Homo-oligomer: A and B are copies of this chain.
Amino acid sequence: MTSSLQSTEERILKAAKKVFHRKGFEGARMQEIADEAGINKALLHYYFRSKENLFEAVFRDAFLELTGYAKTVFLSDNPIKEKIHKFLGYYIAILNENSYIPWFILNAIYTRPGTMKAIFDNAELNPPELMAHLQHQIKTEYGSEINPFHMWLNVLSLSIFPVIAKPLIREIFQLPEDAYKQILEQRKTEVPQFIANALKGYEQSDSMIE
């Protein structure tokens, strides 16, 4: 039953993901990860010396995956509306399956800020480049000097918050899982539309200028 399709290390990482994503560093138990991986607890320490190490590996994976795609999309050559649409599609798809990820990332940053800095630096996000790119694109497509940072932050907010807040909103509105899935599905088209409309609005009344 050792299912050697995956190496032990892969099995551990997969199990660690599952547990850390749902419970964070403090809430996760090494024993639970071992059980989830179907191995002995000692073997966990054999592969990853400490809880800290294992957590870092899990965080790195999640962080690089999320930022990696965002970087690709935002720096691509598509028109803005298309970018936003792709971004939303990707995130909603991924996060529908694994909706704990953004919470997990935030959690890690809040509770273990020191540990994370090295990983940030590794991600090579180059924000100035991104901002310059967006600013240029906004000017070309909409003839407007909208502050690209606020624009970018708006896109992120509209994409990610509804996923993070899912359990809260589901509880408040008494929505079943499927209903919320459908709402997120709608947002794949609604949000780009919403933002495009806002951008049109700026053509007449310029604001959002720093």
Contact = CB atoms under 8 A, between A and B. Distances in A.
Given A187-B150, A190-B207, A198-B197, A109 B168 contact: yes
Interface stretch (A19-27, A45-53, A83-91, A133-141): A19-27
Interface string A60-73: 00000000000000
A94 interface: no
Please classify the interface of chain A as helix (H, G, I), strand (E, B), loop, or mixed, using the class held by over half of its residues.
helix
Given A109-B168, A190-B207, 11 more contacts: A24-B107, A24-B111, A27-B111, A103-B106, A106-B106, A113-B167, A120-B172, A150-B194, A156-B161, A190-B208, A197-B205
Interface of A: 22-24, 26-27, 100, 103, 105-107, 109-111, 113, 116-117, 120, 125, 127, 147, 149-150, 153-154, 156-158, 160-162, 164-165, 167-169, 171-173, 183, 186-187, 189-191, 193-202, 205, 207-208, 210
